[in-house]
Structure 1
Amino acid sequence: MIARYSRPEMTAIWEEKTKLDHWLEIEVLAVEGMAKIGQIPAADAKTVRAKATYRAAQVHENEKRTNHDVLAFLEEVAHHVGPAGRWIHQGLTSSDLLDTTLALQLVAAADILLADLKSLRKTVAAKAKKYALVPMIGRSHGIHAEPLTYGLKLALMYDEFGRSITRLQEARAQIAVGKLSGAVGTHAHLDPRVETYVCKKLKLKAADLSTQTLQRDRHAHFMTTLALIASSVDRWATEFRHLQRTEVLEVEEYFAPGQKGSSAMPHKRNPITGEKLSGLSRLIRGHAVAALENVALWHERDISHSSVERIIFPDATIALDYMLVLLDKMIERQIVYPENMKRNMELTKGLYGSQSILLALTDKGAARRDAYEAVQSAAMDCWRTQEPFIGHVKKSATIAKYLSPKEIEIACSPAKHFRHVKSTFKKLGITK
């Protein structure tokens, strides 16, 4: 991922030094595991622990000759260890290092993303409480429907990202698996107890069964989880972008002093943060497709997944980390315009009360079809004349048979739409 969309903590997980350090620790732990079960001398294991190291530059030089990154690394480590180095990589295959290291990297990435999500939800909850009873119009198909509150809209966002946490925790559990089982996964040359020992030390679960690799359904699950979280980010970025449109302007991204919106039009205040979030989400969804393509490997392993994973996992985790932190900041600094919400709610002259009148009529005994047609007729007159809906309702002879003017006024009040806000917040765990 380019530096523009990267944060240092997540980027560090994917640096070469981190990878090679993991490789070294896995190899040393495997030697110690063999010593622990009496397979090799304990003194040799101590020597390996004391002397095992590498020079990244020499690893690169070795790889020019070997055209194999793991062998290049092993040659360099063995050079430093001496005779005891013969036990390094004993009974292992390259994927034992690669897949176990990838598991460690993805677990570390998941932990950062989980922290990001929890921080985001905390910010959203605070905003939801602040605007719990600020009314606005709800929209279906982009058209005014019935009132809700801005706090309820944000509570929905809070709930959605709660599911993101649940999914990512599950994906983390499925990916937190290592393997040291050899060339086709049979432990033919390395006791399974060594695998168990190494994985326990690394806080991973040893795979119950593997081939030369861990199966890629695990990795596809992880990546599709990231894509789903990114899609939730996109969903809310899109929501706020729509609410910032000039003719709506119910919320707005923070616009800093000195910030510019356009090279040509000095008046512009564009929702660039939301647009950036929507764009990056497309990248992550695309990477999810690549991860799904990696599931179908040949027999016990081919290498077709490797080049893909070197790109998609760093890119997706770094990008999503950036996105979640950016969305968190966007919500925290978001400007809300309650007066515009109220203005927009009244644009349709009270048409949001149509269902309330319909139900009031059926409660009084009117046939639903007759009631619907009477209310729709009043609504169409309101659309046509741009006069208040309640006036057309009161003029309807059909409606007047069932409802008094006072009952009509009560039915058209928006108050009923807000009566369950407190209990909804309580159900979601958003409390004062």
Structure 2
Amino acid sequence: MIERYTRPEMGAIWSEQRKLETWLAVELAVVEALAEMGVVPAEDAAAIRERASFTREAVRERERLTDHDLAAFVDVVAESVGEAGRWIHYGLTSSDVIDTALALQIAEAGLLIVGGARALRDALVRRAREHVHTICVGRTHGVHAEPTTFGIKLAGFAFEADRNLRRLERAIEQASTGAISGAVGTYAAASPELEERVMRKLGLRREDVSTQVVPRDRHAELLQAVALAGAGLERLATEIRLLQRTEVREVEEPFRAGAQKGSSAMPHKRNPILSERLCGIARLLRGYQQAALENVALWHERDISHSSVERVALPDAMILLDYAQHLALRVVEGMRVNVDRMRRNLELTHGALYSQRALLALVAAGRSRDEAYRIVQRAAQRAFDEGVEFRELLAQEAPELDLQAIFDPSPFVRHAEEIVARLDALT
């Protein structure tokens, strides 16, 4: 992933250096377990623990000969130890190390992902509570429908963020799975006991049947959760983009006036660039999900067609989601809510937002539903088209109605506190 969208802590987890360090951690755990089982002499295990090392340059140089990165790594580490280095990679196949190390990286990266998802959810909860009574227009099909509150809007995003948090937790947990089962998963050169010992040392779960590799449906499930979390961020970002349009201007991204520049040519511009960036990132995450699904169907016990894909897709997807979550957190915490503009926008339809209440009042007064609908529709559309107040037109069409009751805004928001209070179950 490019540096622009990489937070340092997450980038470090997926660096080449950390990958090789994690490979070494797996190899050392195997040696330690073999020593406990009496296979590797204690003095050799101690020598390996003390001396085992590598440099990226040495591994890269060796790979030019072997054309196999894991084999090159094993050669370099074994040479660093000396004679006891013969026990490095004893009874293992490449995927035992690569897949188990990948699970360790996923688990470590998962801590950051889950932490970011929780922080975003909590920020949405706070802002939803802040705006529980902030009345604004609810829109369907992009058109004014009925009033709601901005707190209710944000509460919906908070619950979605919580669902994504839970999905990510489950997906990361199930993908944090390793295997030490040998060439075709039969433990011919290892044993279930060795695998159990190694997984316990590394804090991973054991794959039930690995064939040689950990099945790639696990990684596909992880990237599905990542893509779905990205879609949730995109939905939030899209809402903010729509509400920041000049003709709406109910919500705006944080903007550092006097420092930040919205346009190189037009000084007046304050563009929703953070939200637009989130929408773009979500597209990438969906692409990585598709790539992960393509990786599931490997030949027989394994092939290597998945390797080149996930070397890019897995790190990039987790790096991007980590970045996107923190970008969204910045937007949510810093967004400016224009309460006065929300109130003014409620008047754009000249009262037609009350059409359903007028419809129900006419039906309750004895009109047929179709007759009532046509009366209200006629008056509401005149209000839209001609700028005449809907209340005045309705008074002419149906003088028997209690207009004071119909045009009371409180019923639209009377349950707002109850709805937003459901967030209490999340935190």
Q: TM-score by structure 2 length?
A: 0.96
- Contact conserved, 1:129 with 1:431, CA < 8 A, in 2? no
Say if 2:125 and 2:423, in contact at 8 Å, map to a contact too. no
Q: Which residue pairs with 1:20 in the alignment? A: 20
- Letter of the 2:288 partner, please give it: H
Residues of 2 paired with 1:430 and 1:27: CA distance? 44
Asked if the contact 1:220–1:288 (Cα under 8 Å) also holds between the matched residues in 2, the reply is yes
SS in 1 for 2:212: coil
Correspondence for 1:366: 367
Aligned counterpart in structure 2 of residue 425 of structure 1, from 409, 420, 427: 420
Distance 2:47 2:360 in 1: 82
Is 1:412 paired with 2:413?
A: no
Contact 2:116 2:322 in 1 (8 A): yes
Alignment of structure 1 residues 28-427 onto 2, 5 Å: 28-256=28-256, 257-396=258-397, 399-400=398-399, 403-404=400-401, 407-427=402-422
Instruction: Please say if residues 30 and 198 of structure 2, whose CA atoms lie closer than 8 Å, have aligned partners that are also in contact.
Output: yes
CA distance in 2, matches of 1:266, 1:32: 64
| Cα offset, 1:194, TM superposition | 0.9
Distance 1:367 1:130 in 2: 42
**How far did 1:6 drift?**
1.0
Code of the residue aligned with 1:315 in structure 2: it is: D
Q: Deviations over 1:349-404 (max 9, x none)?
A: 111111112222333443322222222122122223211111111111xx44xx53
Counterpart Cα distance in 2 of 1:184 and 1:261:
57
Shift of 1:25: 1.3
For residues 346 and 115 of structure 1, the distance between their equivalents in structure 2, rounded to whole angstroms, comes to: 41
RMSD: 1.6
Distance across 1 between alignment mates of 2:340 and 2:260: 25
TM-score normalised according to structure 1 size: 0.95
Q: Is the 8 A contact 1:425 1:431 kept in 2?
A: no
Deviation by residue 1:47-79 (Cα, 9 ceiling, x = unmatched): 222222222221111111111111111111111
Q: Contact 1:224 / 1:288 at 8 angstroms: preserved in 2?
A: yes
Q: Which amino acid aligns with 1:36?
A: E
Stretch moving more, 33-42 or 55-64: 33-42
CA distance 1:27–1:431, change in 2 (3 Å): closer
Deviation of 1:218 after TM superposition, in Å, equals: 0.5
Show structure 2 runs of 5+ residues with no match: none
- Give 3-state SS (helix, strand or coil) of 1:137's partner: strand
Q: What count of residue pairs does the alignment treat as equivalent?
A: 426
Q: How many angstroms apart in 2 are the aligned matches of 1:200 and 1:349?
A: 68
Cα deviation 1:113-164 (Å, max 9, x = unaligned): 1111111122222221221111110100010000001111111111110001
| CA deviation map 1:77-116 (0-9, x unaligned) | 1112222222221111101111111111111112101111
Give the Cα–Cα distance (whole angstroms) in 2 for the partners of residues 428 and 361 of structure 1.
37
- Say if 1:220 and 1:292, in contact at 8 Å, map to a contact too: yes
SS of 1:189's equivalent in the other structure is coil
CA shift, 1:253, in A, is 1.4
> 1:310 and 1:198 mapped to 2: Cα distance?
24
How much identity, in percent, do the aligned residues show? 47
| CA distance 1:282–1:431, change in 2 (3 Å) | closer
Deviation string, structure 1 residues 180-230 (Cα, Å, up to 9, x no partner): 111111111101111111111111101111111111111011011111111
Structure 1 residue 20, shift from structure 2 partner: 1.0
Shifted more, 255-264 versus 307-316: the winner is 255-264
CA contact (8 A) 1:155 1:425 kept: yes
Instruction: Judge conservation of contact 1:31–1:87 (CA < 8 Å) in 2.
Output: yes
| In structure 2, C-alpha distance between the alignment counterparts of 1:329 and 1:132, rounded to whole Å | 21
- Counterpart position of 1:2: 2
